Amino acid sequence: MFAIVDYDTGNTRNLQKAFNYLQVPTQLTADPDKLAAADAVILPGVGAFAAAMQALRTRDLVPVLQQLGQAGKPVLGICLGMQLLFESSTEYGEHAGLGLLSGQVTAIPANIGVKVPQMGWNENELQQSTSPFAGIDHEYTYFVHSYYAVSPASQVVASVQHGVQVPSIVQRQNVIGMQFHPEKSGQVGLAQLATFKEMVSANDFSSN
């Protein structure tokens, strides 16, 4: 059973539908005990960084997620959920994140000839050839975001170019993030979720 963190964010249902399609049972919950009992914790998210952190704080979930991530529980953050895994964001002021990944979330520069938000399908470039996500190389996934993670290269599994190098999959051991929407990226997106599921089943996060 995967737990999808229920904190009133946008893409939760579609994410759940994607897992259903892959026949992975999921449960929407904000209950710390259920999160702790799950095989993996999925952190969705759409909207603004500060509002999302506030919503987690209101539900006393910040220390819960931090402890689970530090204790080795597989955590998958998606879109804004991925950004929340980092140390901080500069979206409308400086805000602390969960700090499960190193780095900071910052705005895609608006004056470098690309449209912001990045909205559409972009081509992934694999940065870590031994990753279980290696199949994403040269495949397109669907992005909708205005901020991106400035991350140490050691955490960047794959990236896309949008004026700057945008990390598309990040990983530090059991903590994984996807900037794109796997639930909106067709077969390629579903394949990434299936890969995550296999990593959880095998309990093998050693590639990173």
Shortest CB 200 distance to other proteins, Å = 20
Name the burial class of residue 76, with classes exposed (0-12), middle (13-18) and buried (19+) by CB atoms within 10 angstroms of its CB: buried
Within 87-126, the residues that bind other proteins by CB under 8 A are 115, 117-123
Nearer to other proteins, 129 or 187 (CB): 187
40 to 79: interface string for other proteins, x by CB under 8 A:
------xx--------------------------------
Task: Specify whether 183 is catalytic.
Answer: yes
Q: Does residue 10 belong to the site contacting other proteins (CB under 8 A)?
A: yes
CB 95 within 8 A of CB 52: no
Residue 162 bridge partners (DSSP): 164
What tokens appear for 105 in the block?
């979330």
Instruction: Give the contacts of 52 (CB within 8 A, at least 6 positions apart).
Output: 7, 9, 45, 80, 81, 84
- Which string of b and e fits 133-148 if b means at least 16 CB within 10 Å? beebeebbbbbbbebb
Nearer to other proteins, 69 or 81 (CB): 81
133 to 162: interface string for other proteins, x by CB under 8 A:
-------x-x-x----------------xx
Nearest CA-CA partner of 167 in 105, 117, 119, 110 = 105
Task: Specify whether 138 is catalytic.
Answer: no
- State the residues that interact with other proteins by CB under 8 A: 10, 13-14, 17-18, 20-21, 46-47, 115, 117-123, 140, 142, 144, 161-162, 183-187, 189-190
Q: Which residues are catalytic?
A: 79, 181, 183
